[in-house]
Chain A
Amino acid sequence: MSTFADTTFTPPELIRNFCIIAHIDHGKSTLADRMLQITGVVEERAMRAQYLDRMDIERERGITIKAQNVRLPWQVDGQNHVLHMIDTPGHVDFTYEVSRALEACEGAVLLVDAAQGIEAQTLANLYLALENDLAIIPVLNKIDLPAADPDKYAKEIAHIIGCEPEEVLRVSAKSGLGVRELLDEVVLKVPAPQGDADAPARAMIFDSVYDTYRGVVTYIRVVDGKITPRERIRMMSTNATHELLEVGIISPEPKPSVGLGVGEVGYLITGVKDVRQSKVGDTVTSERKGATEPLAGYREPKPMVYSGLYPVDGSDYPDLREALDKLQLNDAALTYEPETSAALGFGFRCGFLGLLHLEITRDRLEREFGLDLISTAPNVVYRVVLDDGTGELIVTNPSDWPTGRVGEIFEPITRCTIIAPSDYIGTIMELCQTKRGQLGGMDYLSEDRVELRYTMPMAEIIFDFFDALKSRTRGYASLDYEESGEQSAELVKVDILLQGEPVDAFSAIVHKDAAYGYGTRMATKLRELIPRQQFEVPIQAAVGSRVIARETIRAIRKDVLAKCYGGDITRKRKLLEKQKEGKKRMKMVGRVEVPQEAFVAALSTDESSDKGKGKK
């Protein structure tokens, strides 16, 4: 079936570009599903839930990681229109995906779960959209749920965005109820894109994805002029020129087209193999008679959390490098640099947007590339001013912490927003206090729900804050945070020593008041995780030369099979071979044999991340 939307160069006044933004799990992808169905771009039998969550890992975890755009036809009052819809992720780690999507749009559907109301990422994403001057269409979703309270939450929304509660649309993304009306509203409310069709071509790259078969696929939104497959293009930041192999639209599979005109969203393929040559935020123009002024670019995503990734089997190191190279093709936010650890051997110090990003990357490396990895405890980036006036150090790995010479230390802080039922205000404040948070303000969203604003060290947030918050509010609190500069702090490096030898992988930078807690926790954990050796092994936690906690692993006393196996010597020998095989999987710390599992278990914060956030 061919539709109006299949042909490009649609007049801009008939185009509407919008994205769906919301807190995690409020139903963006499900709403996108209904739009795909109602507009007829996906046939009934090809439909599956969260159609646009294409990656295995997205489907498994039930969350969106990559934003996805689709071109949809929609008729209002007999007039055909083209809608470019972008489904975005809701998790805070992927906020940069949202901000990129916003650049390609004039409007945003702000979706709110009618059983939960406004949550932290609702606000964060709303503010992002407002900063971009987008038209906001407020929508309550899941009105089919028995627990839905649309009247209450319509008021909340109206209060926040400054509209009338009646203006908030009500839909069920699950049943499709209200979705047609929503599409009509998009056409009505979202401004048509504006641009100069006769000006030199300018298109904004808002995403760039590596595909094994097609190479780099670059997603663009044309602002001025046109992009056609016959013309060579130029990347304005580098002046590199490329031949265009294909230009097309997504509906929802890629379809080649004759080109893209003002306001249109689509993709282009040049044959380059590296996404870095097709950088998000860059402006594409035509090689001949191209534009001279690029469009305003994006802020590059900046890693906030660092962790060392090491192959369990040292000989997998080259494979890990290759795997990281490949993943980075698709994930500009991922950074990595080789590093070595005395305990773990060769690995990479990797930068991530947050813990979920770390976890997902690790997961993909393990599953898609068959690697077995150890990741060290995540940390943030510190700035250490040396007291001898020789300058400063940026520390992304506790091992690089200077000895002596430490003058002032700066740690990144975040502005964070917590939304929760007002019953929990006391509990939350207590928790935030222990995490060195400073209350910035508090607002009631409705009689019984509040928004608390805090300034908090990022290190506290990435550790176990979210889990602590969830468990203390019985899952009702939501959290959003963004980086907001740095503050001077009294931080120390805690080392963990086995038999007097520091184990670099276990060192951590913590606030001086938390040093004792970290030290005892690690020492106790390790005592349980490290098998007894033929000699006694003292475990110590130390700040500099001061020991703050100690434990002892007693020497093993028995390691002999004393049983008559008669003549079955084969069995004995095989058992020995197996034990020796097991020994190979041990990492040596001095003379102490530490099993890989001990590293994995000791370094997992068990309560650190919020996986699928409530999706069981």
Chain B
Amino acid sequence: MPHTGAVPSTLPDGDPAPADGALPSSALRGLGERPFGVYVHVPFCATRCGYCDFNTYTPGELGTTASPESWLEGLRRELDLAAGVLGSAPPAETVFVGGGTPSLLGVDGLTDVLDAVRDSFGLAADAEVTTESNPESTSAEFFAGIRAAGYTRVSLGMQSAARHVLAVLDRTHTPGRAVAAAREAADAGFAHVNLDLIYGTPGERVEDLRASLDAVLAAGVDHVSAYALIVEEGTALARRVRRGDLPAPDDDRLAESYELVDSVLSAHGLDWYEVSNWASSADARCRHNLGYWLGGDWWGAGPGAHSHVGGVRWWNVKHPARYATLLADGASPAAGRETLTDDDRRIERVLLELRLAEGLPLDTLDDTGRANASDAVADGLLDRIALAEGRCVLTARGRLLADAVVRRLT
């Protein structure tokens, strides 16, 4: 569904969720044996980027209906409720504060958020604690402050090093700022820093993408996420494309860009471990995201956040005002949920694990899926040796056709 300013991205259709947020005992069984993480959604941005359909709001869109304060209040209540629903929840092994623009909360705000997580769940000794940050709302002091508060990882929305590309994307930071921020983060003691790139923006030339990759390498980060620009329905970008003001990204060009990204990054020791993610070592991989892809449990707190515990998925109401009101009334902010069938879970495993460099165990597939896997090897989409060893692993070409392979295997 389109969102124009005040109506951000769609939630799925699902079953109603109970007001107390209670989960079936089947979902709670085995809690703690699987990885457990906490996601916190910060639904605020200074301005809206034309391509973005995430659940986030500018001050102008919110008016007086919600504020970072009312949000934080709600968040605390939701985390409390979560601790109650989960009962003997394990300490969080990963925390990911995403958005939106978490860096807008500042050091104090992000400290409060992490404290709230600690209060409700506690943190595992070696917990990975990430926050997304927009380059323009960070500084050396900011990084020092959040490092001191307990954050261990920073993800920066760099997108591009080309000024004209940043302009088309409506990004407000200057070309050099993301790299500078990454260095500041490293200087502040962050061993794990990620840079997000978007490729395929209208007007982006091969040289521009190369320059962005050079900048990423110069920043010396241990993790890179690179996404092909998606023209999401209902965004300002989609309108510009429809009007013909901007050309739609071309799939062949996107494929070439992906190949360029992959070859440059891997030549410099950053290896893919998920279709859109590269890391310098196994330790540098984002454990929190791996939890999503490997069927882990996590509680997603905040407006529009998604959660998964033991085969039950649910999602919160999107609007921060509604979110705060529900929690103030002592109700769960969940808007809907679904209980996965065995088949759903199997399909999700294929969908998610196939995208990983580790691949998918062949025995996850049914008979036709297995037969089709052999065909996919013949078509150069799956790795022959890996298949012989009982795993489906995408080839370089297969990664670019991953959705098609998933359709063949499910």
Per-residue contact bits, chain B 325-341, to A (CB 8 Å; 1 contact, 0 not)? 00000000000001000
Asked if residues A568 and B315 are in contact (CB atoms below 8 Å), the reply is yes
Asked if residues A558 and B401 are in contact (CB atoms below 8 Å), the reply is yes
Asked if residues B276 and A563 are in contact (CB atoms below 8 Å), the reply is yes
9-residue interface stretch from A94-102, A115-123, A125-133, A569-577: A569-577
**Which one, A557, A564, A576, contacts B406 given CB within 8 A?**
A576
Give A331 to B256 CA distance when docked, in angstroms. 58
Interface membership of B285, Cβ < 8 A: no
Residues in chain A near residue B313, CB distance under 8 A: 569-570
Residues in chain A near residue B275, CB distance under 8 A: 560, 562
A570 (CB) vs chain B CBs: closest residue:
B12
Asked if residues B228 and A562 are in contact (CB atoms below 8 Å), the reply is yes
Give A571 to B11 CA distance when docked, in angstroms. 8
From known contacts A559-B404, A580-B407, infer whether A534 and B230 are also in contact, taking CB-CB under 8 Å: no
Asked if residues A561 and B12 are in contact (CB atoms below 8 Å), the reply is no
Residues in chain A near residue B258, CB distance under 8 A: 558, 562
**Nearest-Cβ distance from residue B406 to partner chain A, whole angstroms:** 6
* A interface size (C-beta, 8 A): 24
**Nearest-Cβ distance from residue A532 to partner chain B, whole angstroms:** 8
**Nearest-Cβ distance from residue B287 to partner chain A, whole angstroms:** 14
B404 (CB) vs chain A CBs: closest residue:
A559
Residues in chain B near residue A567, CB distance under 8 A: 39, 292, 298, 300, 305-308
Asked if residues B228 and A558 are in contact (CB atoms below 8 Å), the reply is yes
**Which one, B308, B402, B407, contacts A569 given CB within 8 A?**
B308
Interface membership of B245, Cβ < 8 A: no
Tell me the residues in window 214-266 of chain B with beta carbons closer than 8 Å to chain A beta carbons: 225-228, 230, 251-252, 254-256, 258
**Nearest-Cβ distance from residue B358 to partner chain A, whole angstroms:** 17
**Nearest-Cβ distance from residue B61 to partner chain A, whole angstroms:** 20
Residues in chain A near residue B98, CB distance under 8 A: 566
* B interface size (C-beta, 8 A): 45
Main secondary structure of the interface of A (DSSP, over half): loop
Per-residue contact bits, chain B 357-382, to A (CB 8 Å; 1 contact, 0 not)? 00000000000000000000001010
Interface membership of A583, Cβ < 8 A: yes
Interface membership of B82, Cβ < 8 A: no
**Nearest-Cβ distance from residue A2 to partner chain B, whole angstroms:** 63
Asked if residues A576 and B306 are in contact (CB atoms below 8 Å), the reply is no
From known contacts A560-B399, A576-B403, infer whether A569 and B348 are also in contact, taking CB-CB under 8 Å: yes
From known contacts A557-B251, A567-B300, A576-B410, infer whether A562 and B227 are also in contact, taking CB-CB under 8 Å: yes
From known contacts A567-B39, A567-B292, infer whether A534 and B401 are also in contact, taking CB-CB under 8 Å: yes
B257 (CB) vs chain A CBs: closest residue:
A558
Interface membership of A556, Cβ < 8 A: yes
B375 (CB) vs chain A CBs: closest residue:
A591
Asked if residues A558 and B225 are in contact (CB atoms below 8 Å), the reply is no
Give A432 to B312 CA distance when docked, in angstroms. 71
Residues in chain B near residue A557, CB distance under 8 A: 251-252, 255-256, 400-401
Asked if residues A534 and B403 are in contact (CB atoms below 8 Å), the reply is no
Residues in chain A near residue B276, CB distance under 8 A: 562-564
> Could you list 22 A-B pairs, sorted by A, with CB under 8 Å?
A557-B251, A557-B252, A557-B400, A557-B401, A559-B400, A560-B275, A560-B402, A560-B404, A561-B403, A563-B228, A563-B276, A566-B292, A568-B12, A568-B315, A569-B351, A570-B313, A571-B10, A574-B12, A576-B351, A576-B406, A579-B403, A579-B407
Interface residues of A (CB under 8 A from B): 534-535, 556-564, 566-574, 576, 579-580, 583
Interface residues of B (CB under 8 A from A): 10, 12, 14, 39, 98, 225-228, 230, 251-252, 254-256, 258, 275-276, 289, 292, 298, 300, 305-308, 313, 315, 338, 344, 347-348, 351-352, 379, 381, 399-404, 406-407, 410
